[in-house]
Structure 1
Amino acid sequence: MAKVKQLQSLAERRKEFRQMCKQRNAVIVPGAGNALTARIIEDAGFDVIYITGAGLANTLLGVPDLGLVTLTELASTVSAISEITDKPLIVDIDTGFGNALNAQRTMRVIERAGAFAVQIEDQVFPKKCGHFAGKAVIPLDEAVSKIEAVVDAREDHNTLVIARTDARAIEGFESAMERAEAFIKAGADMTFVEAPQSEEELRTIASRLSVPQVANMVVGGKTPLTTKASLHEMGFSLVLYANTPLQAAMRAMSDVLKVLHDDGDVGRVTDKLADFEERQRLVSKDEYDAADARYSVK
């Protein structure tokens, strides 16, 4: 009810998204950890939404990105977001919540919840944020088997499997590239070399690997912030800004609440607040009002 009714099937829309990724147009993909953020991303005009594991950990649990979110919590979030938007959803499934069999179940659950793509990584379980110190990766043959398991588990062949490697920070750039190449052979549709440390490394990733690539822009992270134009010229398909909306919301909430705490007068900062009408527009209240009027007993 809350999203525009699509004439295309989910399978058709997944096929269109697959074709979009092949074009390598450096599509910017902001991240959401909840349905309200997803609505705001769509309202701002973006075409794809990333369901961020770190953002979910921060917003739902109030904890760091240390592998503490469960599959049930992730699936519930994906389902809630897919109910209110028809935009393609890329879902961060971390390590797949265990071994190859766990990863297979995760793929089935998240695909049925509405994912257009899943992103699985090669860290040990439980994982850490890709820009944290102290990460570790599983052996390459184990990582490959998990990619194969996830590829085999999908019900719709147009659901993309994005294979991420965190080996750059642990084993070096060349090892990360070798892992990405092995993931492609295992059936990954796209790869994601996390935390490259220079524009030269970014350029090598996009030019050397045969499938479409993901770049991850993290403010304060290890990868240099690079413009859409430059990443497009390099040949990246997707550019994640996984937690930029969350960081903006955190700063805005802190600033307004500090004034409220110190002065007891929110009137000084109403320019920093969405007004009542804007808030209701963003959650499509008019659509719910119309449905209520239609179905109310006369």
Structure 2
Amino acid sequence: MNRMLQTKSMNIALPPNQARETLRDLIVSKGLSYLMEAHDGLSAAIARQAGFKGLWASGLSISSSLGYRDANEASWTQVVDVVERMADASDLPILVDGDSGFGNFNNARLLAGKLQQRGASGVCLEDKGFPKMNSFVGNRHPLAEIDEFSGRLKAVKDTTGPDFVLVARIEALIAGYGLDEALHRADAYADAGADAILIHSRKSEATEILDFARRWAGKLPIVIVPTKYYKTPVSAYRDAQISTVIWANHNMRAAISAMRTTCDRIMAEEGIAGVEPEVATLEEVFGLLHYDELAAAEDRYLPKHA
């Protein structure tokens, strides 16, 4: 279905240009913005209902929901299909975790072009080779050559145009290099056309992230993912003039916890009477996905029978 022909009454995606502008507004805003993780249409709709203004299409969460590991086991076409469902289920702009681009410059630009067609508002590419490994798994995280990765960024920009948001994710701190290397790469990626820099860390406190922000001095907006240093108060990010915080995987992790608890109880109790008051009602499901619009459309478009 052409997204431009879909109606706002269905609470689905805005026209692509409007969605992309909204993501850019979030990224460049002087205030602190939040992107909430989603990994399918349902989680996207829930994030929208909660009041989030933008989504992070997490590679880890999408892979996990498909039964794959976050090591490029899911194909880029599978990721694109999921993002389309997220776009159709919400009117929120989506920044997509594009991993390392699934290959060289050509793979990266194919990915970005398809994401743009399917309703995404931007893509984030990390400076690793292909296949990549999740940043919190093991200690083997070889980085891409700066010039080669800069070529990937340029190819994406040339393919998608200026409105599609391109975030360059720096893995230098993950890979064990120092702050100087991270800043050197950030300068190169800014020159290559990145709209924002995502600086990533696996430490349990935010010191190196805040040091990066101080030395970077606002050359481009900074995006962070505080999965490991979650105890840091957001006031520290505001003080450091960080642009955007991504809550990167909590919908997926919450779903695992809730489903495990429900399955264990049904198995133990040999019935659903005990869990029924603790799970969403069918009416909530129908409301979230706007079954009322479908019922009204049936009355409008289907033949009337005596």
Fold agreement, TM-score > 0.5: yes
Alignment of 1:278-289 (within 5 A): 278-289=284-295
Which residue matches 2:280? Answer: 274
Mind listing any 5+ residue stretches in structure 1 that lack a counterpart?
none
Q: 1:94 aligns with which of 99, 109, 114?
A: 99
Which residue matches 1:252? Answer: 258
After superposition, the C-alpha distances for 1:9-53 in whole angstroms (9 at most, x for unaligned) are 532442243133212422221111111110111011111011111
Q: 1:52 aligns with which of 55, 58, 62?
A: 58
Which residue matches 2:21? Answer: 15
CA distance in 2, matches of 1:120, 1:216: 14
Q: 1:109 aligns with which of 97, 108, 114?
A: 114
CA distance in 2, matches of 1:95, 1:184: 17
1:153 paired with 2:159, answer yes
Q: 1:138 aligns with which of 113, 137, 144?
A: 144
Aligned CA RMSD, in angstroms, stands at 1.8
Which residue matches 1:85? Answer: 90
* Residues 230 and 187 of structure 1, relative CA distance in 2, 3 Å threshold: same
Which residue matches 2:187? Answer: 181
* Residues 4 and 252 of structure 1, relative CA distance in 2, 3 Å threshold: closer
Preserved contact between residue 3 and residue 83 of structure 1 (Cα < 8 Å): no
Identify the range of structure 1 (200-209 vs 234-243) with the bigger mean alpha-carbon deviation. 200-209
Residue 99 (structure 1) shift: 0.4
Q: TM-score, normalised by structure 1?
A: 0.92
Mind listing any 5+ residue stretches in structure 2 that lack a counterpart?
1-6
- Secondary structure of the structure 2 residue equivalent to 1:174: helix
CA distance in 2, matches of 1:211, 1:196: 22
- Secondary structure of the structure 1 residue equivalent to 2:95: strand
Q: 1:216 aligns with which of 209, 225, 233?
A: 225
Which residue matches 1:120? Answer: 125
* Residues 5 and 258 of structure 1, relative CA distance in 2, 3 Å threshold: closer
Which residue matches 2:208? Answer: 201
Which residue matches 1:293? Answer: 299
- Aligned residues between the structures: 292
* Residues 3 and 225 of structure 1, relative CA distance in 2, 3 Å threshold: farther
2:183 partner letter: M
Which residue matches 2:244? Answer: 238
1:243 partner letter: N
CA distance in 2, matches of 1:265, 1:83: 35
Runs of 4+ with deviation above 6 angstroms: none
- Secondary structure of the structure 2 residue equivalent to 1:169: coil
Q: 1:165 aligns with which of 163, 170, 176?
A: 170
2:73 partner letter: L
Alignment of 1:16-55 (within 5 A): 16-55=22-61
CA distance in 2, matches of 1:175, 1:149: 23
Q: TM-score, normalised by structure 2?
A: 0.89
Identity percentage of aligned residues:
26
- Secondary structure of the structure 1 residue equivalent to 2:109: helix
1:237 partner letter: S
Preserved contact between residue 22 and residue 237 of structure 1 (Cα < 8 Å): yes
